[in-house]
Amino acid sequence: MLYSIQEIKEGVKKGDFLFLSKTISHIENQEEGAAAYTSELPMDKVPVLGFTGPPGAGKSTLIASLVGALVNEQKKVAVLSVDPSSVIHEGALLGDRIRMREWYLHPSVFIRSLATRGHLGGLIQNIDQVVLLLQSAGFDYIILETVGVGQSEVQVAKIAYPTVLVLVPEAGDEIQMMKSGLFEVANIYVVNKCDRPEAQKFANHLKQTLADRSSAAKKTYIVQTTANTKEGILELLDVIKQFG
């Protein structure tokens, strides 16, 4: 049974997680009438933070730590992870669940994954709508996690501001990112896994590369983190807040 626009307005205002989850399912499955769900929502200007980067870079770990810092500030946070629904990815999804485990039952944290089903047009429209819904549901921040492997992530990055590109000091990733176009759309560059020996060298190289590429108009930020020990997380949050 689909909801009426009135039910949506009331349910979203209450911010009930179960209701939000059901509503997102309707949107995700493109149920009849779901396209109109967000037509009368207030469109609050809630920041949408985008996290992208190669699989395994530590996006989920970083987000889990950041959520911790935000919850400490009494903030309410919604985390959306966008996953291409392929069999190989199920393992990663499970990994995300483990990484985010401590937040699954927290009353200030709403976590949800969206499958992309390889259908780009539908995907973007759906994400827009889900984000809009969440922006009306009383959250202080919405965090989007996408795997930075293709053009769809560049499009998702357009919804988010700032977009955080998570890189790791491993050969190949950097080159992959530069090719993907994500390098251009990112506002904040995170060098994660700074506990690795090559991290400083990688960060220096990244700084040089960005200095060579970026125009004077675009200020770039590089933050070094070790997500699993929460090192650099508060610094990252400070930088994110500058995009207010």
Which of Mg ion, ligand GDP, none does 70 bind, CB closer than 5 to 8 A by kind?
Answer: none
Listed ranges 51-59, 83-91, 122-130, 203-211: which one lies at the site for Mg ion (CB under 5 A): 51-59
Query: Facing residues of 52 across strands?
Result: 165
Listed ranges 58-66, 105-113, 132-140, 205-213: which one lies at the site for ligand GDP (CB under 6 A): 58-66
d(CA 54, CA 39): 34
Residue 28 binds to Mg ion (criterion: CB under 5 A)? no
Number of residues that bind ligand GDP (CB under 6 A): 16
Residue 57 or 239 having the CB closest to ligand GDP: 57
- What does residue 43 show for φ and ψ, rounded to 5 degrees? 55, 60
Which residue type sits at 165? L
Residue 84 binds to ligand GDP (criterion: CB under 6 A)? no
Among 23, 61, 116, 163, binds ligand GDP (CB under 6 A): 61
Minimum distance of ligand GDP from residue 78's CB (angstroms): 17
Residue 238 binds to ligand GDP (criterion: CB under 6 A)? no
Among 108, 125, 176, 228, binds ligand GDP (CB under 6 A): 228
Residue 197 or 244 having the CB closest to ligand GDP: 197
Find the binding residues for ligand GDP in span 27-56 (CB under 6 A). 55-56
Residue 57 or 66 having the CB closest to ligand GDP: 57
Residue 145 or 174 having the CB closest to Mg ion: 145
Nearest one of 43, 89, 74 to 140, comparing CA atoms: 74
Residue 193 binds to ligand GDP (criterion: CB under 6 A)? yes
Name the residues that contact ligand GDP, by CB under 6 A. 55-61, 92, 95, 99, 192-193, 195, 226-228
